[in-house]
């Protein structure tokens, strides 16, 4: 087959000359890691961008979640979503806590706040909710429940770089918010992640935990890990950051074209509140049933087009979990959802081809 392969995403790469120029100074400082000048500069720029003054740049989004749980001393039950990447659940288990799943809203794909309170017990310590595909959770409802029940709130904002809710960065919500800077994300540092803390005390604890538990240069005050990121990854972030606006605009163009071409299709699209400033991180489509989904995937692959089933299976069905309740919305959507190829330079002809194949196959 001579057609070029169309993948679900393509990582943005800046002009290599810009990256090479950025990393030259690393040879002058000789500092490769452990809070080097580029790491500190990237943190400063992101703190200013999001109007947050307690941000830590870590190795990846999964470690960010694990550090958040450890910093908040969560060891028992965590109410969470079954519709997310597996890292949301595995981080809870890795820290020795127990995930308690609550079903999702079938329109937003986020955890349904109306179902949270009935799952709270005397063992519940936290709520860990995901802004799915960059769509903000109902943060006001979750905050109200958490305050009433004395719970901590962590937001997995892996998909939500530059997302705003009522002109306020989504990272400003919760006791701790985390983000992924993985290569597939809207903004990336090749590998990386971030932790945003509400309080100075919590930031100091996360900082210590991410650096082997150090307090100062010598003292060890806690059981920590090595969650620090390096100068080369920070350099990629510094070079990529000025392009984020154009990247989001390019992704918006693709999403709007999909919207136009699939307007009369019988599939379901995710709904966003009107007060949200989106980042167009993904383009999910929910088909009538799994059979229709599988037919569409087969037809697309026959044309060298590779979408992806985010997120399957519903996390309450993971094989290493003990018996979990049936969660109809999450389980149904996870069987029927497909994310279409999405990146700024996806050609108009390829968008049209993808939509034509979907319409013909379903």
Is residue 2 in a domain? no
Contact 138, 129 (CB under 8 A): no
**164 in the same domain as 24:** yes
Residue that is last in its domain, among 214, 242, 270 = 242
Nearby residues of 160 by Cβ (< 8 Å), 6 or more positions away:
131, 134, 136, 170, 171, 179, 279, 281
**257 in the same domain as 214:** no
**254 in the same domain as 203:** no
pTM for the full model?
A: 0.96
Task: Give the structural domain span for 353.
Answer: 243-361
Is residue 11 in a domain? no
CATH code, 108: 3.40.640.10
Q: Quick one: residue 89, left, alpha or beta (phi over 0 = left, psi -120 to 50 = alpha)?
A: alpha
Element (H, E) at 220: strand 219-220
**213 in the same domain as 133:** yes
Q: What's the rounded Cα separation, in Å, for the pair 175 and 75?
A: 16
Coil, strand or helix at 297: helix
Contact 158, 179 (CB under 8 A): yes
Residue that is last in its domain, among 213, 242, 271 = 242
Q: What's the rounded Cα separation, in Å, for the pair 352 and 180?
A: 30
The position carrying tokens 């860990």 is: 128
Residues comprising the chain, all counted: 362
Q: What number of H helices and E strands is found in the chain?
A: 11, 16
Summarised one tens digit per residue, pLDDT across range 21-60 is 999 999 999 999 999 999 999 999 999 999 999 999 999 9
Neighbours of 70 (CB within 10 A): 24
Summarised one tens digit per residue, pLDDT across range 207-257 is 999 999 998 777 898 999 999 999 999 999 999 999 999 999 999 999 999
Summarised one tens digit per residue, pLDDT across range 107-136 is 999 999 999 999 999 999 999 999 999 999
**261 in the same domain as 214:** no
């Amino acid at each position: 087959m001579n057609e070029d392969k169309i993948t679900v995403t393509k990582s943005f790469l800046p002009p290599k000359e810009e990256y090479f120029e950025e990393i030259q100074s690393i040879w002058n400082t000789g500092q490769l890691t452990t809070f080097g000048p580029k790491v500190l500069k990237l943190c400063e720029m992101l703190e200013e961008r999001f109007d947050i003054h307690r941000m830590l740049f870590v190795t990846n989004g999964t470690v960010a979640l694990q550090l958040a749980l450890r910093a908040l001393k969560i060891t028992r039950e965590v109410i969470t979503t079954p519709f997310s990447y597996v890292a949301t659940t595995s981080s809870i288990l890795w820290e020795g806590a127990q995930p308690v799943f609550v079903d999702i809203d079938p329109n937003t794909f986020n955890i349904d706040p109306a179902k949270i309170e009935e799952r709270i017990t005397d063992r519940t310590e936290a709520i860990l909710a995901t802004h799915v595909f960059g769509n903000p959770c109902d943060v006001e409802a979750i905050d109200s429940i958490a305050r009433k029940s004395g719970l901590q709130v962590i937001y997995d904002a892996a998909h939500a770089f530059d997302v705003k809710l009522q002109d306020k960065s989504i990272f400003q919500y919760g006791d701790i918010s985390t983000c992924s800077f993985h290569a597939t994300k809207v903004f990336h540092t090749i590998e990386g992640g971030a932790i945003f803390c509400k309080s100075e005390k919590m930031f100091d604890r996360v900082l210590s935990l991410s650096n082997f538990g150090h307090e100062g240069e010598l003292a060890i005050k806690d059981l920590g890990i090595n969650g620090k990121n390096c100068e080369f990854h920070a350099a990629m972030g510094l070079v990529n950051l000025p392009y984020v606006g154009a990247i989001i605009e390019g992704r918006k163009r693709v999403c709007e074209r999909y919207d136009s071409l699939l307007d009369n299709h019988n599939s379901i699209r995710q709904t966003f509140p009107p007060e949200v400033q989106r980042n167009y991180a993904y383009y999910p489509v929910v088909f009538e049933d799994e059979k229709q989904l599988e037919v569409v995937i087969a037809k697309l692959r026959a044309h060298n087009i590779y979408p992806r089933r985010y997120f399957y299976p519903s996390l309450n069905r993971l094989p290493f979990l003990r018996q979990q309740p049936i969660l109809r919305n999450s389980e149904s959507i996870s069987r029927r959802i497909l994310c279409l190829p999405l990146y700024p330079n996806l050609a108009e002809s390829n968008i049209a081809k993808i939509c034509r194949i979907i319409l013909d196959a379903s």
